[in-house]
Amino acid sequence: MIRALTRKLTLALALTLLALPAASHAQTMFRFPISMLGDQCGNGGCVVSAYKDYGGRDYACGGVRYSGHTGTDYALSGGFGKMDYGVWVMNAASGVIESSVDGYYDRCNYWNQSNPYAACGLYTANYMIMRHGDGSKTLYWHLKKFTQQFARNTSLSCAYWVAQVGSSGASTGPHLHFEYWVPGYGTDDPYGGACGTPFTRWTSQGAYRGLPGIACQ
């Protein structure tokens, strides 16, 4: 009887394990998507200017957001002078460059929200989109023109210098808009907190208003 019970428990455990998601399906985790060298975002060279908007608050229940914002903005502390010097965007995880746009004006300092398709509008940004192994995507927006280093369909491991931070499209100054997208769901937030998603997608999230860590998954 004990042996029969043991066999039943073993079978039940095996069936339970089969029903669980495979360990290989672990979500892609991200590093900070800009270089943290001393002359780049290190030493206070970049700051968080806006997090994803959760209906009037950010992931940590603060107010560092603006209405309808779908990603995180990392602004250059030195403005256009720092942009001219060159600050490198880095892919936050391994993946494939799925799409990209280049060549648009990259010194925008305004955008007309009442006419979002005008000059310096929504469709005039230089950008790159990467697809990762779990099907998620990362979006890198407002890039400096003619700085993209790799063609579409290029496969990259984590942390390549892929382009420079600019101010193309709907932008009021040089910054990187970094966005996280999940298949079957849409835009999500890599930050985990009390007023947002409970799970972080950073390898090291860091402090509120600070910058995430640079370790790759």
Predicted pLDDT of residue 14: 39
State how many domains the chain has: 1
What is the 3 state secondary structure string of 85-139? HCCEEECCCCEEEEEEECCCCCECCECCCCCCCCCCCCCCCCEEEEECCCCCEEE
Q: Residue 108 is part of a domain; what is its CATH number?
A: 2.70.70.10
59 is a domain residue? yes
Residue 210 lies in a domain: no
Amino acid of residue 58: D
Q: Is residue 77 part of a domain?
A: yes
- Which domain, by its residues, includes 41? 29-187
- Find the radius of gyration of the CA atoms of the chain: 20
The pTM for the full model equals 0.87
Residue 192 lies in a domain: no
Residue 217 resides in a domain:
no
Q: What is the pLDDT of residue 26?
A: 67
Q: What is the pLDDT of residue 1?
A: 44
Residue 173 lies in a domain: yes
Each residue's pLDDT tens digit, 29-58: 999 999 999 999 999 999 999 999 999 999
Three-state DSSP string of 55-68: CCCCCCCCCCCCCC
- Does 45 fall in a domain? yes
Handedness of CA 109, 113, 118, 121 (dihedral sign): positive
Query: Which segments in the chain show pLDDT lower than 70?
Result: 1-26
Is residue 42 in some structural domain?
A: yes
Structure tokens at 41: 């975002």
Q: pLDDT value at position 111?
A: 85
Q: Which two tokens stand for residue 103?
A: 């060549």
The model's pLDDT over 83-101, given as tens digits with 9 standing for 90+, comes to 999 999 999 999 999 999 9
User: Exposure pattern of 179-201 as b/e (b: 16+ CB <10 Å)?
Assistant: bbbeeeeeebbbbebeebbeebb
